[in-house]
Homo-oligomer: A and B are copies of this chain.
Amino acid sequence: MEKRQITLKDIARALSLSTSTVSRSLKDHPDISRETKDRVRKFADEHRYKPNALALGLRTNKNKTIGVIIPEIVHYFFSSVLSGMQEEAEKEDYSLIICQSNEDYNREIKVTRTLLSAHVCGVLASVSKTTTTFDHYQEILDNEIPLVFFDRICTGINTDRVVVDDYTGTFNAVNHLIQTGCKRIAFLGAPTHLTISNNRRMGYEDALRKNGIQVEPSLMPICDTILLAGEIVHRLLNLTDRPDAIFAINDEVAAYCIRKIKASGFRIPEDISVCGFSNSYISEATDPGLTTVDQHGFEVGTTAMRLLIDRLNGEEKKEGCVSKIIKTRLVVRESTK
Contacts and interface: CB of A to CB of B under 8 A. Distances in A.
Given A255-B284, A282-B281, A144 B54 contact: no
B116 A5 contact: yes
Nearest to A74: B79
A45 interface: no
A298 to B, nearest CB: 8
A97 B99 contact: no
Contacts of A99: 86, 95
A98 interface: yes
A181 interface: no
Contact of A53 (B76, B117, B139, B226): B117
Nearest to A289: B259
Interface string A279-321: 0111011110100000000000000000000000000000000
Interface residues of A, number: 61
A132 to B, nearest CB: 21
A55 interface: yes
Nearest to A50: B117
Contact of A3 (B3, B144, B282): B144
A55 to B, nearest CB: 6
Contacts of A4: 143-144
Nearest to A254: B285
A5 B73 contact: no
Contact of A76 (B74, B97, B144): B74
A12 interface: no
Nearest to A111: B90
A205 interface: no
B65 A73 contact: no
A239 interface: no
Interface stretch (A35-43, A56-64, A148-156, A159-167): A56-64
Interface in A101-136: 113-114, 116-119
A113 B74 contact: no
A209 to B, nearest CB: 32
A22 interface: no
Contact of A119 (B48, B53, B116, B289): B53
A61 B52 CA distance: 9
Q: Which of A54, A97, A99, A251 has the most CB of B within 10 A?
A: A54
Contacts of A119: 5, 52-54
Interface of A: 1-5, 48, 50-55, 57-58, 61, 63, 65, 72-76, 79-80, 82-83, 86-87, 93, 95-100, 113-114, 116-119, 139, 142-144, 226, 251-252, 255-256, 258-259, 262, 280-282, 284-287, 289
